[in-house]
Amino acid sequence: KNQVEQSPQSLIILEGKNCTLQCNYTVSPFSNLRWYKQDTGRGPVSLTIMTFSENTKSNGRYTATLDADTKQSSLHITASQLSDSASYICVVRKNYHGDNQGGKLIFGQGTELSVKP
Amino acid sequence: NAGVTQTPKFQVLKTGQSMTLQCAQDMNHEYMSWYRQDPGMGLRLIHYSVGAGITDQGEVPNGYNVSRSTTEDFPLRLLSAAPSQTSVYFCASSLRGGQGETQYFGPGTRLLVL
């Protein structure tokens, strides 16, 4: 079954600290893996997209890693800020032949991050 | 660019009522889609469109209709609202729905069906 599991469900950290969010998936065949940030009451915003051949991708203080062999990804946030408080969603795209067929995205449940002063 | 816009932001319906959730994008994207987000679950695809005049069903299409008469607009219609359709609805778009493309999401419509 195609699934994306994220851990932890929620996390509280102090401002300035680092944290790492985890994502395990069983989606096959694999196309790419995405991390989104969703602020409360807003739509998800893309942080990174990684393909099979990419191990690491950074976007400012956000660094995503991908191990396609173990089907695991992580999102590391450095020097957290209050504005990092949000839900972080891991999404895996399933590969289809004839790509423009609605390409199936499998969404994780998200990790709720709260950064406290 | 306004990006992806959705209206209304919040709506309360009674069981059996119908309504249309509006979605528009000004990025000339061919691919548009509708998702619902429920507590404890990942976003689920309702319907999608790969271009004007072309729509198809996603994972959870029952109770919803869509049409795509223009590139810009992709409305979602609830035919006869049920409490199970209480959810937050997101519209998203990307250039052509290609594998590596970023999807841009709207701000969402929060729907409560009583």
B107 to chain A, any CB pair closer than 8 A? The answer is yes
B89 to chain A, any CB pair closer than 8 A? The answer is no
pLDDT (mean) for A108-116: 97
B105 to chain A, any CB pair closer than 8 A? The answer is yes
Confidence (pLDDT) at A56? 96
- Whether the CB-CB separation of A104 and A59 falls below 8 Å is answered with no
pLDDT (mean) for A27-48: 94
Q: What are the tens digits of pLDDT across the range B6-47?
A: 999 999 999 999 999 999 999 999 999 999 999 988 899 999
Confidence (pLDDT) at A96? 67
Q: Does B40 sit within 8 Å of A109, measured CB to CB?
A: yes
Confidence (pLDDT) at A103? 60
Q: What is the residue-wise DSSP string for chain A?
A: ---EEEE-SEEEEETT--EEEEEEE--SSEEEEEEEEE-TTS--EEEEEEETT--EEEETTEEEEEETTTTEEEEEE-S--GGG-EEEEEEEEEP-SSSTTT--EEE---EEEEEE-
Mutate to test the interface with A, among B93, B103, B105, B109 (most CBs of A within 10 A): B103
Q: Spell out which residues of chain A touch residue B102, defining contact as CB-CB under 8 Å.
A: 46, 49
Select the residue of A43, A91, A106 nearest B106 (Cβ to Cβ): A43
Q: Which amino acid is at B28?
A: N
Q: What are the tens digits of pLDDT across the range A60-111?
A: 999 999 999 999 999 999 999 999 999 999 999 987 665 445 568 899 999 9
Strands A10-14 and A111-116: parallel
Q: Does B97 sit within 8 Å of A102, measured CB to CB?
A: yes
B63 to chain A, any CB pair closer than 8 A? The answer is no
Mutate to test the interface with A, among B37, B56, B99 (most CBs of A within 10 A): B99
Confidence (pLDDT) at A101? 52
Mean pLDDT over the full length of chain A: 92
Q: Does B33 sit within 8 Å of A43, measured CB to CB?
A: no
